[in-house]
Structure 1
Amino acid sequence: MSPKENRFCWTAGPEDFEIRLDRFLASKPIGISRARIQDLIREGKVLVGDAAVKASRRLRPGDIISIEIPPSSAWKIEPEPVPFEVLYEDGFLIVINKPAGIVVHPGAGHWKGTLVQGVMDHCKGLSGIGGVERPGVVHRLDKDTSGVMIMAKDDKTHLALSAQFKAGQVRKNYLAVVHGKMPSDAGTINLPIGRNPLRRKEMTVVGEGGRNAVTLWRRVRDFLCGFSLLSVRLKTGRTHQIRVHLGHQGHPIVGDAVYGYRRSQEASLDGWRKGLLPRVSRQMLHSHILCIRHPEEERDMEFVAPVPEDMKAFLTALEDLEISRKKL
């Protein structure tokens, strides 16, 4: 691979035989999503040899694949004030404590009020590698997940951070409140995740065709009223990974409207647990700690996002209920 002004080139090897072009490129640390790659393929920015081809093109050993990522001058997003806390900032990157309820980048149904627009308003410059809609975005959090996120201010930093995420060198720890009591003090969930064949916007554990997904969890505290607080560490970074894995284990995250308990299931809960759920307005999942190696300064850095007020309030309610039950 040889980068030059956001141009990259690879030669397909024997291990790449019959791999789709878009999937091949998505495995490379170039800082853009598979959807963005497919857009660039359609725009003729990706060549196999000297020819523009389709995303479904199957590779052969010896194929020369090149991609050109347009410069940041293509941005169309309008900056606007969006509330968030800055945990750290320098000339290369910015680390944010994202509030729940804010979408990371513009997309269908969310063209304004995103975190990207707020960060652009704050720092006036972000990497352009992520494309028109995702400048500076190295990784994402779901809309209703709070906590620490990192964004790149320039393309070199973006590529270096993306490489760390691809290689599994970034430590990501979350806090999650789940239904039920976990079967042990700690465990590992190693189950592949893929697109739900019936509900295409959702992910699910699949037997074949999914992507490797590994989640490590540790019990922080059990509550007598039927909830548990977990510390969760991601070894991979699949879409909705923690929510899918914990839900599949029978311990969905409290307040998760997609992978959590349905209303019919909530109705069958005992009175103690059911009575607490109206206090929750979003999934109780918080990106707590993020550890990276600074691409420019070459030093390890750890960033911690404090537990948000709504999660603290719910945990306090669980503690108060536990005290009340012990007195009975």
Structure 2
Amino acid sequence: MAGMTDNPIDNPLSILWEDEHYAIIDKPAGLLIHRSLFSSDRETLVKRLYRQFENPPLPVHRLDRPVSGVLAASFSSEAAALLSSQFRNGQVKKTYWAVVRGYIPQEGVIDTSLKDYESGSIKEATTHYRRLKTAELDIPSRKYDTSRYSLVEVQPQTGRFHQIRRHLASLGYPIVGDTSHGDTFSNHHFSEHFQVEGLMLHARCIEFVHPITNEDLSINSPAALRFEKVFERFQWSGA
């Protein structure tokens, strides 16, 4: 069902990598990171971390509730400040997977400024993308005889609110399951025919130089369950 997490509430969060300074968490889709004034959710990722760790690591950056995948957290405020600085300076490489409607061009750069919803100011935003896979199924969609989808690798160079969703939608290739910037008909069509719910956006990999040990880190999150279902249905092996 929409809104459910990939990781049941009684299960511990999966830790992809950990040392004394940082933990890289595999965030489930559908789970808020912190409590919000705009949500009635009682369960959050932070609450689960407090149950799981005696000294819980706290998130250094954000992933939206419907997004799954790699999330960096720190065990101290000092370590958090060092890694946060890398995020602000664009020194952390983030790679996402997205399933979009249609056949997106093979690769490109979206360099379109976006409005900041809190301040109202316009801020520069840059997103690189590369098409990995395509699928065409004999399922009519609107005026077309078939349904087309693409698996896209996305690397945002900036961290604006809903940047990937807004940028891909601006090209005419909205992410499947995006209720904020996507296509309502396509979302219902996808859910009806493939029995997959939720936003098809997954934080696949994070790469950075460890601020304290200078170790080069590259941590991957395995495909979330909803992606596995789509890969199987669309025969996207080797993604």
Does the TM-score normalized on the shorter chain lie above 0.5? yes
**CA distance in 1 between partners of 2:196 and 2:98 (Å):** 13
- Equivalent positions of 1:35-114 (< 5 A) are 83-108=12-37, 109-110=39-40, 112-114=42-44
**Between Structure 1 and Structure 2, which shows a larger proportion of helix residues?**
1
- Equivalent positions of 1:1-328 (< 5 A) are 83-108=12-37, 109-110=39-40, 112-126=42-56, 136-182=58-104, 184-195=105-116, 209-225=121-137, 226-263=148-185, 275-276=192-193, 279-319=195-235
Match of 1:276, as an amino acid? H
5+ residue gaps, structure 2: 1-8, 138-147
**CA distance in 1 between partners of 2:82 and 2:191 (Å):** 46
Identity of aligned residues (%): 31
SS in 2 for 1:97: strand
Deviation at 1:120, TM superposition (A): 2.0
| CA displacement 1:165-220 (0-9 Å, x = unmatched) | 001000000000000011x3110001111146xxx8xxxxxxx9311111100010
Max radius of gyration: which structure? 1
Report if the CA contact (8 A) 2:196-2:229 is conserved: no
SS in 1 for 2:36: coil
**Between Structure 1 and Structure 2, which shows a larger proportion of strand residues?**
2
Q: Which runs of 4+ in 1 moved over 6 A?
A: none
Match of 1:188, as an amino acid? V
| CA displacement 1:205-248 (0-9 Å, x = unmatched) | xxx93111111000101112300000001111111110111111
SS in 1 for 2:235: helix
| CA displacement 1:127-175 (0-9 Å, x = unmatched) | 7xxxxxxxx2211111111000011110110000000000100000000
Report if the CA contact (8 A) 2:28-2:68 is conserved: yes
Match of 1:194, as an amino acid? K
**CA distance in 2 between partners of 1:110 and 1:266 (Å):** 24
SS in 2 for 1:101: coil
SS in 2 for 1:224: strand
**CA distance in 1 between partners of 2:63 and 2:187 (Å):** 26
SS in 2 for 1:243: helix
In the alignment of these two chains, the number of paired residues is 217
Report if the CA contact (8 A) 2:21-2:74 is conserved: yes
**CA distance in 2 between partners of 1:110 and 1:295 (Å):** 36
Aligned-residue Cα RMSD (Å) equals 2.4
**CA distance in 2 between partners of 1:266 and 1:232 (Å):** 20
